[in-house]
C-alpha cells in the first residue's frame, strides 16, 4: 500500500505489515509496535541516504512486519564496495541511536522509563540482528558483495542464499527444542520462516537481475530505436569492476581492449561484460572475455 513520498522516495506498506498491526492492536501492544516500526523506517532511511550520497537513486522503501527494504537503483548490484557501504549504513545508524538514547538516559536528559528502554533495546536489537551474515539481512548483503568481487554476483548470491536457508532451518529447530525442553516462547519461529523464504527469493533473484538488466537495455533500444554508443578503451588487464564505473544510463557501451603497447585485441559489448560480472566476478580481467 502506497502511503506517500519522502524526498521523492515512495514509501510503501506491505499487506502483511497491516495484518501484523492488527494483531499487535488486539494484544494491546499497538503503541510499542508503532515505535518499533518507526525505528525500522529510520533504519531503512539510513540505507537510502547513503545510496543517494553515492549517486544511486532510491526507488522506494517498503516496510514488512519483520523489517523493511530500501530498493536502490539496479547498478548498485555491480558495485560491491558501494553495496557494502549502503548495507552497513542501516545497522550502524540503529546502533548509533541506541548509544545516543543510552547516553541521554545516563546523563538524566531522558527518563529511565519503558519508552526510553524500548528505544534503546529496539535500536540495539535491530542493529545487531541485521549484522548477521545471512540474506536478506544487511550482514548477508555485505557478505554477498564481498564474495561477488571474486566469485561473481550469481554464484555469490546462490551460495549465501543456501547458507542463509540452512541457518534459518537450524535456528527454527533450536527454537522448537528450547520451546519443548525449557518452555521458552516459540515467537522466533515466524522470523525464521520469514528469513527462509526471503533467502530463497534472494537466490532466485540473481538470475532475474541479469535478465532484468538485459531486458532493460532491449526495452531502451525498442523505445528509442537508436541508442548512443559510448566507446571506451581498456588495457587488457583491467578488472571489470573498474570498467563498469564508466557506464552511463541511456547508452550502450563498447569496450576496445588493447595491450600494453596499445595494440587492439578486440571489442567487448556491454551485455558480455554484465554476463561476465554475474558469472566470474568483478575482479575478472577484460581480456578473459575475448578468449
* Strand 9-13 to 58-64 pairing: parallel
The model scores a pTM over 0.85: no
Of 3.30.420.40, 3.40.50.620, 3.30.70.20, 3.10.580.10, the CATH number of 227-290 is: 3.10.580.10
Tell me the backbone φ, ψ of residue 52, rounded to 5 degrees: -65, -40
**Smallest Cα–Cα separation from 238: which of 187, 289, 165, 189?**
289
The residue annotated as part of the active site, out of 44, 62, 202, 270, is 44
Residue 187 corresponds to which cell in the numbers above? 515467537
How are beta strands 58-64 and 67-72 bridged, if at all?
Answer: antiparallel
Euclidean distance between CA atoms 122 and 62, whole angstroms: 19
C-beta pairs of 197-202 under 8 Å, 24+ apart in sequence: 198/135, 198/136, 199/134, 199/135, 199/136, 199/140, 199/161, 199/164, 199/165, 199/168, 200/161, 200/165, 201/136, 202/135, 202/136, 202/140, 202/157, 202/160, 202/161, 202/164
Terminal CA-to-CA distance of the chain, rounded, Å?
49
pLDDT per position as a tens digit, 213-261: 666 666 666 777 777 788 999 999 998 878 877 776 567 889 999 998 9
pLDDT digit string (tens) for the chain, length 291 residues: 666 677 778 887 777 767 777 777 777 777 887 888 888 889 999 999 999 898 888 888 888 766 777 877 666 776 778 889 999 999 999 999 999 999 998 888 887 788 889 899 999 999 999 999 998 899 999 998 888 777 767 778 888 999 999 999 999 998 888 888 877 777 778 888 888 988 888 877 766 665 566 666 666 667 777 777 889 999 999 988 788 777 765 678 899 999 989 999 999 988 888 778 777 777 889 999 997
- Residue 236 has a pLDDT of 93
CB-based contact 32:57 (threshold 8 Å): no
Domains in the chain: boundaries:
1-131, 151-223, 227-290
Q: What are phi and psi of 50, to 5 degrees?
A: -65, -40
44 is catalytic: yes
State yes or no: cis peptide before 136, omega within 30 of 0: yes
Task: Find out whether 65 and 104 touch, Cβ atoms under 8 Å.
Answer: no
The predicted structure's pLDDT at residue 254: 92
The pLDDT value given to residue 189: 84
Amino acid at each position: 500500500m502506497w502511503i506517500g513520498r519522502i524526498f521523492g522516495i515512495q514509501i510503501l506498506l506491505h499487506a502483511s505489515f497491516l495484518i501484523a498491526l492488527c494483531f499487535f492492536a488486539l494484544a494491546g501492544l499497538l503503541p510499542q509496535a508503532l515505535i518499533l516500526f518507526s525505528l525500522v523506517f529510520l533504519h531503512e532511511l539510513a540505507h537510502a541516504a547513503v545510496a543517494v550520497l553515492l549517486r544511486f537513486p532510491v526507488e522506494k522503501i517498503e516496510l514488512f512486519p519483520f523489517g523493511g527494504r530500501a530498493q536502490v537503483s539496479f547498478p548498485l548490484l555491480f558495485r560491491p564496495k558501494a553495496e557494502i557501504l549502503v548495507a552497513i549504513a542501516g545497522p550502524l545508524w540503529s546502533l548509533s541511536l541506541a548509544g545516543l538514547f543510552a547516553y541521554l538516559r545516563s546523563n538524566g536528559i531522558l527518563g529511565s522509563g519503558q519508552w526510553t528502554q524500548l528505544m534503546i533495546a529496539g535500536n540495539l536489537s535491530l542493529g545487531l540482528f541485521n549484522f548477521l551474515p545471512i540474506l536478506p539481512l544487511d550482514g548477508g548483503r555485505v557478505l554477498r558483495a564481498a564474495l561477488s568481487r571474486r566469485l561473481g554476483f550469481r554464484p555469490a548470491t546462490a551460495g549465501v542464499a543456501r547458507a542463509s536457508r540452512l541457518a534459518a532451518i537450524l535456528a527454527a529447530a533450536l527454537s522448537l527444542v528450547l520451546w519443548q525442553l525449557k518452555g521458552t516462547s516459540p515467537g522466533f519461529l515466524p522470523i525464521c520462516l520469514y528469513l527462509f523464504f526471503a533467502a530463497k527469493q534472494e537466490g532466485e533473484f540473481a538470475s532475474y537481475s541479469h535478465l532484468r538488466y538485459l531486458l532493460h537495455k532491449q526495452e531502451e533500444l525498442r523505445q528509442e530505436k537508436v541508442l548512443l554508443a559510448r566507446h571506451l578503451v581498456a588495457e587488457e588487464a583491467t578488472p571489470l569492476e573498474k570498467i563498469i564505473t564508466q557506464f552511463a544510463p541511456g547508452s550502450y557501451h563498447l569496450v576496445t581492449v588493447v595491450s600494453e603497447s596499445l595494440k587492439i585485441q578486440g571489442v567487448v559489448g556491454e551485455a558480455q561484460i554484465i554476463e561476465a560480472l554475474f558469472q566470474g566476478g568483478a575482479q575478472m580481467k577484460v581480456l578473459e572475455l575475448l578468449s
